Amino acid sequence: MFARFQIRAREVVKRKRDFQAEYRRRVERALAKGLSKAQARGHRRATEAKVASTRAQRELDDAKLQMGLRFLRKEKSFTKAAKEAHVSPERLRTIAIEKGIVEKRGRRWVIKHDLPRRVLIFTNAQEKQITVGDFSEASLIGKHMSAISWSLRTNDFRGMRPFAGKFVTDIAGNTYPLETRKNVLYRLSHAGGSSFEQIYRIVV
């Protein structure tokens, strides 16, 4: 009895799945329900309804979404961005369109500038996380944090001069001066907090 069970178990292990046949059956079932082929594949278009039972339509993990958006801003390509985020281009594009993160400019999809961003800032002798209202504010903070990193690494603080007296405003209307004092920057950098890249995210 036990020997027969072992033989059957080995037969089950050896049996290969016919993925092409499974795919065809899935598409046929979806078409019979009035769904499109794209919906059946799990990569529906942004204008098509969600299919709750389709695994690929579940909410995209925020870390993967943010990574995809980061590369989309650099590469201007959903295909390249999706590859870096380890998701399909169709899924990344659909979610980005649905959430209103991107807009079409010519033939390319680009990230909207007027979206709130969560950023890390050195201000008033403190490290803070704030949410600013658009890309220009976030970009200024990013350049400031990059200049701090370069100044600390080279011990040359001339790069901090352009930021003296400048400030940013968060979405609640609070203003934050950009920290430029050498001793304060050394203290904050040695506190062992998060980096700008780790905190930066588009708030959706």
Whether residues 83 and 20 share a domain: the answer is: no
Total domains in the fold of the chain:
3
Instruction: Determine the average pLDDT of the residues in 20-45.
Output: 65
> What does residue 71 show for φ and ψ, rounded to 5 degrees?
-75, -30
Whether residues 11 and 66 share a domain: the answer is: no
Whether residues 76 and 34 share a domain: the answer is: no
Which residues does 2 contact at the CB level (< 8 Å), separation at least 6? none
* Predicted local distance difference test score (pLDDT) of residue 110: 86
| Domain residue limits at 99 | 55-111
Compute the distance between CA of residue 186 and CA of residue 151 in angstroms, rounded to an integer.
10
pTM here is 0.64
Instruction: Determine the average pLDDT of the residues in 74-103.
Output: 88
Amino acid (one-letter) located at 93: R
Q: Give the residue with greater pLDDT, 11 vs 165.
A: 165
What sign does the CA torsion over 143, 147, 149, 150 have? positive
> What does residue 202 show for φ and ψ, rounded to 5 degrees?
-80, 130
What is the rounded radius of gyration, in angstroms, for the C-alpha atoms of the chain? 25
Whether residues 86 and 152 share a domain: the answer is: no
Partners of 102 in beta bridges: 111
Compute the distance between CA of residue 52 and CA of residue 163 in angstroms, rounded to an integer.
49
Residue 90 counted as domain residue = yes
Is residue 181 very low, low, confident or very high in pLDDT (cuts 50, 70, 90)? very high
